[in-house]
Chain A
Amino acid sequence: MFRSLAPPEYLAKIDTIKCIRCKRCIQNCGWGVYSWGGDKVLINTSKCVKCLRCFHYCPEEAIEIVDSPTRFKSNAYWGWNVIRNIKRQAETGGIPLTGMGSDLPYTILFDNLLIDACQVTNPSIDPLREPMELRTYLGKKPSKASFETGLDGKLRLKEKLPPQIKLKLPIIFSPMSYGSISLNAQKVLAMAAKECGIVMNTGEGGLHEDLFPYKSNVIVQVASGRFGVNPDYLNAGVAVEIKIGQGAKPGIGGHLPGEKIPLEVARTRMIPVGTDAISPAPQHDIYSIEDLRQLIYAIKEATNYKPVSVKIAAVHNVAAIASGIVRAGADIVYLDGFRGGTGAAPSVIRDHLGIPIEHAIAAVDDRLRQEGIRNEASIIAAGGIRSSADAAKAIALGADAVGIATAALITMGCTTCGKCYTGNCSWGITTQRPELTARLDPEVYAERLINLVHAWEHELKEILGALGINAIESLRGNRERLRGVGLDSQTLDILGVKPAGR
């Protein structure tokens, strides 16, 4: 057989002295690296993706996974992956796929922004003693508020408030469909969303009945494939999202390959078992803002006017597009930056299309303010939110809330190995193989995700306290409380942020 000239990326090593031949590594590896050789474990290292499942489950700590020391001669221009991709393409003629967000070393703007703090002239607040308000409402806000006194003598709003999604803190779980992730992974998200008082998003794979108990913490998605969309589905959650694009793969559709469509996924998506689930690149009923408006209102009519979110990838003209989306009647604009994750995308698309979320938030927030329509829709920012600090910075730049997905998967064991598209995830996350998904116990992992959200909640409160403010509302779009380090003046101008020291 022709041996691939693309060398293995990793070297899986077993210390045969420590190894007690328990064969756990063989069971745990979803990629089939290990097999039993009669008296010892055999290793096919070219299959290893460094997901570290075996490492964690080896009772003797006998396993070591290292980056393969045998590399092409180092070259600052012709990098390891560049050469490797060419070799893979030469062998297959195919498009190299990848999973997770882009890992290329583009400038990370979040890491060049710093948050202000109070000293002397303005007292900071201790969040352990004083109440801190993180509660967030997503939806259209009236452009003016008038009040009247009710029969009970209490003041109340005169006009009816448009429908709102209430979040305990400004974080949601970003869309990940059943099919791209396992049902157990979706259950983790749903349970954690309920416990944390936030929402998860079904993605475009329909809503499995096991998630029905979590309906009031679910946003359902409608994308170009229209999988699983019927009147019940549209009415199931607290809102409906129209997915136009995804940060990791702006402008292209999705193919969930037939082998990843077992019965349950097919049933939920309402398609036959084993055919590819193809999401066309555009929604062919939307070729303009006017068409988008039609679909938004078709959904509103079908749901008795639930909030509608429109998700787009952050691209060059994002501000003008977002303005159109708001004018088309969306209640929420969901912006997904180019670092956003994916279950499968061509690496050429993931790594080279779109713009960073930080730029997109600033540009959209500016534009909507200039046009006097910022109140007409909430902004959710997603695509590479790694920490509560990123969340705080995104909110200061102008977002109402942030979406997290990769961070949530990391709590389930994901090591961002990036091989989600193979459907072999050893952690039971991005796979439909029953022996793999069974290892992701929803209750156990929901607990971890809840811990993460609570930890970020505390951190956000600490940040607000240091800023001397007691409500997340006071941070929203408050770019005066951000400073840039090492950013050129044009970037600072676009972000609407002063350089540190000014």
Chain B
Amino acid sequence: MLEINAKGIYYRDLNAMIREAVAKGEKEIVVKGVNGQYYIGDGLVGNSTITIEGVPGNDLAAFMDGPTIRIKGNGQDNICNTMNGGKVIIEGNAGDVLGYGMRGGKLFIRGSVGYRVAIHMKGTKKQSPTIVVGGTAGDFFGEYMAGGVLILLGLDAEDGASLAGDYLGTGMHGGLIYVRGEVDPNLCGAEVGIGEMDDEDRATLKETLTEYCKDMSLSFDDVMKKDFKKLYPASLRPYGNLYAY
């Protein structure tokens, strides 16, 4: 295990240290005293586990492919931007624009998230991203979604409170969104269908949430006590009829 004290270190130098350690094959890295340094794990390839103590800055795990990062506090904006693979676990809340264009790997957040989260996530049969938000989400959650799985739990939300903001799944043309509780159709764009869970959905949820609950030390049974709704793309070609050829 390697311990790095990030106090007062410029982000470029800190990231160079982490990169070097991963390149050398260090499997366990603990970074202490992190205070807003940007781009931690940016473009990082490998299978190391990095634990962050403190609050890391924006663009954590952007373009990342492989490593696991656990943040022992809150995260900021742009986490997992265009991420290709790996896993990010955030024990607190996180900010805006998480998982933009994310193509693979997992992002687990215990708390709530801000605006524009999971925009244009995409996946194929081989590679598909997953985001689980334990709390609530702001506007534009899952906008332009093209693939992958997005789960919104609202664990600490009051009964009947809306878990997501406006424009939920607007422009969605792939992937699935699962919401623990009711979904007001007025929040969604016309491209979104709202449906009931089937066996395949339940299997996806079970697999993902078992892992999530383990990572967050939560009881899976408690989380599953409430019913989920499924949001799916009404069409794979939402704008197919827009043009005159």
Q: Which residues of A contact B (CB under 8 A)?
A: 88-89, 91-97, 222, 224-226, 229-231, 234-235, 255, 257-258, 266, 270-272, 274-276, 278, 280, 283-285, 294-295, 297-299, 301-303, 346, 421-422
Q: How far is the CA of A231 from the CA of B42 in the complex (A)?
A: 9
Among B57-65, B195-203, B204-212, B218-226, the one that faces the other chain is B57-65
5 A-B residue pairs with Cβ-Cβ distance under 8 Å, sorted by A, are A95-B243, A226-B82, A257-B240, A272-B147, A284-B97
**CB <8 Å contact, B81 and A88:** no
The one of B65, B120, B243 in contact with A230, judged by C-beta atoms closer than 8 angstroms, is: B65
Known: A270-B103, A284-B143. A231 touches B45 (CB 8 A): yes
**CB <8 Å contact, B244 and A280:** no
Tell which of A270, A303, A422 has the most Cβ of chain B within 10 Å.
A270
**CB <8 Å contact, B43 and A255:** no
A-B contact count (CB 8 A): 139
Chain B interface residue count: which class? 35 or more
**CB <8 Å contact, A278 and B101:** no
**Closest 3 pairs (CB-CB, A-B):** A302-B43, A226-B101, A94-B244
Q: How far is the CA of A92 from the CA of B242 in the complex (A)?
A: 9
Q: How far is the CA of A284 from the CA of B173 in the complex (A)?
A: 17
Known: A91-B244, A226-B101. 12 other contacts (CB 8 A): A94-B241, A97-B243, A275-B237, A276-B236, A284-B119, A284-B143, A285-B78, A294-B38, A295-B59, A299-B63, A301-B42, A302-B63
Q: How far is the CA of A422 from the CA of B243 in the complex (A)?
A: 11
**CB <8 Å contact, A258 and B244:** no
Is B135 on the interface with A (CB-CB < 8 A)? no
Q: How far is the CA of A274 from the CA of B236 in the complex (A)?
A: 8
Q: How far is the CA of A285 from the CA of B100 in the complex (A)?
A: 7
**CB <8 Å contact, B43 and A301:** yes
A159 to chain B, nearest CB (A): 17
**CB <8 Å contact, A275 and B43:** no
Q: How far is the CA of A41 from the CA of B213 in the complex (A)?
A: 69
Q: How far is the CA of A94 from the CA of B239 in the complex (A)?
A: 11
B79 to chain A, nearest CB (A): 11
Q: How far is the CA of A294 from the CA of B39 in the complex (A)?
A: 9
User: A284: which B residues are within 8 A, CB to CB?
Assistant: 97, 100, 116, 119-120, 140, 143-144
User: B78: which A residues are within 8 A, CB to CB?
Assistant: 285, 294, 298
Provide the main secondary structure of the chain A interface.
mixed
User: A301: which B residues are within 8 A, CB to CB?
Assistant: 12, 15, 39, 42-43, 62
Tell which of B43, B119, B242, B245 has the most Cβ of chain A within 10 Å.
B43
Q: How far is the CA of A94 from the CA of B242 in the complex (A)?
A: 5
**CB <8 Å contact, A298 and B62:** yes
**CB <8 Å contact, B63 and A229:** yes
Q: How far is the CA of A343 from the CA of B92 in the complex (A)?
A: 45
**CB <8 Å contact, A270 and B100:** no
**CB <8 Å contact, B173 and A276:** yes
B19 to chain A, nearest CB (A): 9
B166 to chain A, nearest CB (A): 15
Known: A229-B63, A272-B147. A280 touches B119 (CB 8 A): yes
Among B27-35, B121-129, B182-190, the one that faces the other chain is B121-129
User: B56: which A residues are within 8 A, CB to CB?
Assistant: none
User: B44: which A residues are within 8 A, CB to CB?
Assistant: 231
**CB <8 Å contact, B39 and A258:** no
User: A303: which B residues are within 8 A, CB to CB?
Assistant: 43
Q: How far is the CA of A276 from the CA of B127 in the complex (A)?
A: 18
Q: How far is the CA of A294 from the CA of B140 in the complex (A)?
A: 21
**CB <8 Å contact, B39 and A278:** no
User: A276: which B residues are within 8 A, CB to CB?
Assistant: 173, 236-240
In the complex, chain B residues 40-82 whose Cβ is within 8 Å of any chain A Cβ: 42-45, 58-59, 62-65, 78, 81-82
In the complex, chain B residues 127-148 whose Cβ is within 8 Å of any chain A Cβ: 127, 140, 143-144, 146-147
User: A255: which B residues are within 8 A, CB to CB?
Assistant: 239, 242
**CB <8 Å contact, A278 and B119:** no
B63 to chain A, nearest CB (A): 5
Q: How far is the CA of A421 from the CA of B116 in the complex (A)?
A: 31
**CB <8 Å contact, A278 and B171:** yes
Q: How far is the CA of A225 from the CA of B171 in the complex (A)?
A: 13
**CB <8 Å contact, A88 and B244:** yes
User: A297: which B residues are within 8 A, CB to CB?
Assistant: 38-39, 59
Q: How far is the CA of A288 from the CA of B245 in the complex (A)?
A: 35
Q: How far is the CA of A417 from the CA of B81 in the complex (A)?
A: 39
The one of A222, A271, A283, A294 in contact with B59, judged by C-beta atoms closer than 8 angstroms, is: A294
Is B169 on the interface with A (CB-CB < 8 A)? no
A346 to chain B, nearest CB (A): 8
Known: A94-B242, A276-B237, A278-B239. A230 touches B146 (CB 8 A): no
Tell which of A257, A271, A274, A275 has the most Cβ of chain B within 10 Å.
A275
Q: How far is the CA of A351 from the CA of B242 in the complex (A)?
A: 18
**CB <8 Å contact, A97 and B144:** no
User: B58: which A residues are within 8 A, CB to CB?
Assistant: 294
Is B114 on the interface with A (CB-CB < 8 A)? no
Q: How far is the CA of A235 from the CA of B43 in the complex (A)?
A: 10
Q: How far is the CA of A229 from the CA of B59 in the complex (A)?
A: 15
Q: How far is the CA of A497 from the CA of B116 in the complex (A)?
A: 46
Known: A94-B242, A97-B244, A230-B65. A278 touches B144 (CB 8 A): yes
In the complex, chain B residues 1-48 whose Cβ is within 8 Å of any chain A Cβ: 12, 15, 38-39, 42-45
Q: How far is the CA of A225 from the CA of B81 in the complex (A)?
A: 12
User: A230: which B residues are within 8 A, CB to CB?
Assistant: 63, 65, 82, 84, 103
Known: A278-B171, A284-B143, A294-B58. A272 touches B101 (CB 8 A): no
User: B146: which A residues are within 8 A, CB to CB?
Assistant: 271, 275, 278
**CB <8 Å contact, B237 and A258:** yes
**CB <8 Å contact, B173 and A275:** yes
**CB <8 Å contact, B245 and A258:** no
B26 to chain A, nearest CB (A): 19
Is B174 on the interface with A (CB-CB < 8 A)? yes
Known: A231-B84, A275-B146, A278-B171. A226 touches B120 (CB 8 A): yes
